[in-house]
Every structure is written in C-alpha cells, then in structure tokens.
C-alpha cells in the first residue's frame, strides 16, 4: 500500500470537525477504497481552546491557514473557513502554488475566483475539488464533470437554496406570509439573521454560476446571472399556483438558447407533476436535461454538517486515489466567455396576477391587450372572494378581485408592454404580479 495522503484542515466548525471524525472512524474503509491511508496531519482554526468533540491528539496545530497551506507535511489542503476572500483565498493559492491539492466547500470563493484557482491547479498539478460547494452531498458536480462527459447539456436547473425552499413550502402548506415564514426559519436556524444573501437569490446565483460552467463549458460568471429573490411572493400566488396545477419554487436555471446561455434565478412556477415540484422543505434538487436523453434529477440534503463533510471526504478520497479531473471539467483556456442574457428577450410561459378594479369587462380588456402583443392565453380565471376560482365571469362591482392568467410561451418584453397598456387602461389596482413558468 502506498504512503498516506496527508491532509491539513483549515476551519474546524461543524463541517471541519465532522471531516476529522469521518477520516478517523472510516480509516479502514477509506484505505481499502483508495489503496492508501488518509491521515489528518495538521489543522488550524481561530480558537485552539474550543471544545469540538473530536480527538485532535497527534495532529499538529498550524498558526494560520496560510502556514498550514505551506506545511511541507501536508499533501492536500481542506479549506472550510468560508468567505470569498482571505484568509481562505490566500491559503488555497499558497497550497495550489506549491503543487498541493485543495478541497473546499466554499461556493462564494469558487464562484468568484474559481477560474484563476483552476488555472493554478492545472499549472502546478494539484487537484481542486468542490463537490460540497453546490448541493452538499448531492453528487451534482461529479455528475456534470464526469458522468455526462460526452452528453451535451441543454438545461440544468434546480432548487439550490434550502432556506428559500423551506419558506416557500411553509407559505404554501400553511397559507402564511413570507415575513412570518422567514421569522420562523430564523428561529429554527434555517435562515441567517441577515437573510438577504439567501432570500434575494444570491446564494443560488453563485451555485448556478458554478453548475453552468460545468454544464456548458463556459467561464464561471456570477455577474452573468439574472437574480430575483422570493420576498415578493404572496400566499395568493401559491394558492393560485396550486389551483392551476403548479408550485412556486426559487429556481436557478441555466439554459442553452439560440442566442447563448441564459442564466437566471427567480421564483418559478413548475408543473406540480414534475420531480422538482415534489421537493419540499430544506431539501435541494437539480435536474439535468442532456442531449437526447430524458431528464436526470438528483435530490438530497443541500446543507448540514454531515452531508457537507460526506462530500468533502469523497473529494479527498478521489485525490488519494490519484484522480485528477480539471476543476471545471476541461482546461480553463477551453472555457468560453458568457454574457448576461437580457431578460427582455426571455421566452417562456408566464403566470400573471392582477387585481381587477372594475369586474365587468376587465378580463376582456386584459385579453385584448395581451392579444395586441400576440400573447396567447392558456387559462384565465377570476378568483371569488371566498378563494374559489371561476372562468373569468364578471362579478359586478365591489372590492378588487384577482384575475389569474397563464400564458403560452411568449417574450418577456411583450408581457411588459401588454401590462403597461393594462395599467394605462386603469382597470387594475396595484402592480401586476408576474412569475415565469418553467416546463419540465
């Protein structure tokens, strides 16, 4: 059996401690699987004194992440500090420049600096693995990087943020508002004190940028992702979705179009019968539409100490086995540049919710304005005040009544022009709600 792979771990939070524990308890299995032992030889973290519930006896303590990365007694740096900048970044750079391999769960850092780091890894011969950065233990990176080596991807999309899916699930199941569910998510530890990174879609955008690069052979570019969060979603939208055969999910979608790769994160109506619609609570899921084959969907825990550590140790095991795959599936100089696709030219179906001010005739006015923009209507319903729905019959005067529309595929700018006209007609009150539909 060959010499042990010597691992240095920077960051000993929940994930780091679990990685230390797994490598120790599964030592025999890992050695059998990899043909050589894996040993944690050095670690570093902010506080040496903190109790972590794992045995660190015999493991050296480095003064800093960069010192750990320069340690000649480690072959592989595991970065679990987090954050897109230093000290995580300089530690990874130090390790890669000395030919060491790196494993990280840091999506922000990979989304921002992944290309430059991948080039360093190529140049100096180390691996750079980041399975845990997207979907934790769901093997989505490996599937795109290795499992679909010869199969062109037409679309990759999914639920990549457990916080948002938890909030949308509770809003749907209990009829609660976004604000109420967010508060609950914070109380239960599913959302941060400052939830904006999650609920505004930025976490999903970083993960999507990484998946899009792997799927389409493009350069990772968070700036090429159109991003909308879930705070505008109302319980009425979730009820309407259910009535119309849909669910609302915050999706990250990267899709090949005639005009290039479109990358977008926004609340999305998905058919209730689709695999992705079944994914509830903090669970994540990704669907891949490969050229000529039916969709493949991977579902599982997108976060959590044990799930993240599982993926980190699998990445370490690949390095121990001698597996070296280009971090983004091909050499960085083969990755193409991708631009942000303007959403005005997005094509798809739309859900539109309007508050009809004057019931009689409003549906007809709306239908006319949509027809002027050559938008075909799949269904139009007017909701009774009691929550039931009905085929857009006028109800007589009274308080505003919601009108719900589902359109066939059209252009987003056509939808905007039609709704501007409807607003000029003064037949609705408030702003129209518009949610894109993603078909499976």
**Among 58, 292, 388, 398, which residue interacts with a second copy (rule: CB under 8 A)?**
292
Q: Does 317 bind a second copy (CB under 8 A)?
A: yes
**Closest CB 79 distance from a second copy, rounded Å:** 18
Contact 240, 170 (CB under 8 A): no
**Among 7, 20, 23, 118, which residue interacts with a second copy (rule: CB under 8 A)?**
23
List, in sequence order, every residue forming a beta bridge with 155; answer none if it has no partner: 255, 289
Q: Which among 207, 219, 272, 426 is annotated as catalytic? A: 207
* Residue among 381, 48, 69, 81 at smallest CA distance from 243: 381
The DSSP element (H or E) to which 338 belongs, if any, is none
Helices of type H across 217-343: 235-244, 305-320
C-alpha span between 189 and 135 (Å, rounded): 18
**Closest CB 193 distance from a second copy, rounded Å:** 25
* Residue among 21, 60, 22, 20 at smallest CA distance from 44: 60
C-alpha span between 178 and 167 (Å, rounded): 7
Scanning the structure block, which residue is given the tokens 């619609």?
A: 277
Closest to a second copy by CB, 225 vs 282, is 282
Q: Does 310 bind a second copy (CB under 8 A)?
A: yes
**Among 13, 260, 295, 394, which residue interacts with a second copy (rule: CB under 8 A)?**
295
Contact 119, 144 (CB under 8 A): no
Binding mask 31-70 for a second copy (x = CB under 8 A): -xxxx-----------------------------------
**Closest CB 423 distance from a second copy, rounded Å:** 40
C-alpha span between 102 and 196 (Å, rounded): 30
Q: Does 213 bind a second copy (CB under 8 A)?
A: no
CA distances, 92 to each of 70, 126, 305, 314 (Å): 10, 11, 21, 19
Site residues (CB under 8 A) for a second copy, limited to 106-135: 131
Q: Does 196 bind a second copy (CB under 8 A)?
A: no
Query: CB neighbours (10 Å) of residue 1?
Result: 9
Using the rule CB under 8 A, give the single segment among 24-32, 90-98, 378-386, 407-415 that binds a second copy. 24-32
374 flagged as catalytic: no
**Closest CB 142 distance from a second copy, rounded Å:** 6
Tokens of 131: 């399975």
Q: Does 228 bind a second copy (CB under 8 A)?
A: no
Contact 77, 124 (CB under 8 A): no
Closest to a second copy by CB, 330 vs 357, is 330
**Among 152, 342, 385, 430, which residue interacts with a second copy (rule: CB under 8 A)?**
152
Using the rule CB under 8 A, give the single segment among 188-196, 275-283, 364-372, 408-416 that binds a second copy. 275-283
DSSP 332: G
State the catalytic residues.
207
Which residues contact a second copy by CB under 8 A?
22-23, 26, 29-30, 32-35, 131, 137-139, 142-143, 146-152, 217, 275, 278, 283, 290, 292-301, 304, 306-307, 310-311, 313-314, 317-318, 321-326, 329-331, 334
């Amino acid at each position: 059996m060959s010499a042990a792979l010597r691992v240095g771990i920077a960051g000993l939070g929940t994930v780091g401690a679990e990685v230390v524990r797994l490598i120790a308890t599964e030592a025999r299995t890992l050695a059998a699987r990899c043909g050589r032992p894996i040993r944690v030889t050095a670690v570093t973290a902010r506080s040496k004194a903190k109790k972590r519930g794992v045995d660190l006896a015999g493991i050296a303590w480095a003064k800093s992440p960069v010192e750990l990365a320069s340690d000649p007694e480690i072959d592989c740096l595991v970065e679990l500090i987090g954050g897109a900048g230093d000290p995580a970044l300089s530690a990874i750079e130090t390790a890669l420049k000395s030919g060491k391999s790196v494993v990280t769960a840091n999506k922000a850092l990979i989304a921002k600096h992944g290309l430059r780091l991948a080039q360093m890894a190529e140049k100096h011969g180390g691996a750079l693995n980041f399975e845990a950065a997207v979907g934790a233990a769901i093997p989505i990176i490996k599937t795109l990087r290795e499992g679909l080596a010869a199969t062109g991807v037409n679309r990759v999309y999914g639920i990549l943020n457990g916080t948002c899916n938890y909030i949308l699930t509770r809003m749907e199941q209990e009829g609660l508002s976004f604000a109420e569910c967010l508060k609950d998510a914070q109380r239960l530890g599913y959302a941060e004190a400052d939830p904006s990174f999650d609920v505004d879609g930025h976490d999903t955008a970083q993960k999507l940028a990484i998946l899009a690069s792997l799927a389409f052979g493009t350069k990772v570019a968070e700036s090429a992702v159109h991003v909308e969060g879930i705070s505008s979603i109302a319980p009425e939208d979730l009820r309407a979705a259910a009535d119309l055969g849909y669910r609302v999910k915050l999706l990250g979608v990267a899709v090949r179009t005639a005009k290039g790769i479109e990358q977008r994160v926004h609340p999305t109506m998905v058919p209730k019968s689709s695999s992705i619609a079944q994914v509830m609570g903090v669970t994540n899921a990704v669907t891949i539409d490969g050229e000529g084959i039916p969709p493949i969907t991977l579902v599982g825990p997108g976060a959590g100490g044990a799930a993240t550590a599982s993926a980190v140790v699998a990445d370490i095991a690949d390095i121990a086995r001698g597996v070296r795959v280009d971090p983004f599936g091909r050499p960085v100089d083969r990755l193409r540049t991708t631009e942000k696709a303007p959403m005005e030219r997005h094509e798809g179906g739309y859900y539109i919710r309007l508050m009809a001010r004057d019931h009689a005739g409003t549906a007809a006015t709306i239908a006319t304005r949509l027809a002027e923009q050559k938008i075909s209507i799949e269904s139009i319903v007017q909701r009774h005040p009691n929550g039931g729905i009905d085929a857009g019959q006028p109800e007589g005067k009274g308080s505003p009544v919601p009108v719900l529309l589902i359109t066939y595929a059209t252009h987003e700018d056509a939808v905007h022009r039609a709704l501007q006209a409807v607003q000029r007609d003064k037949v609705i009150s408030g702003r129209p709600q518009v949610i894109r539909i993603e078909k499976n």
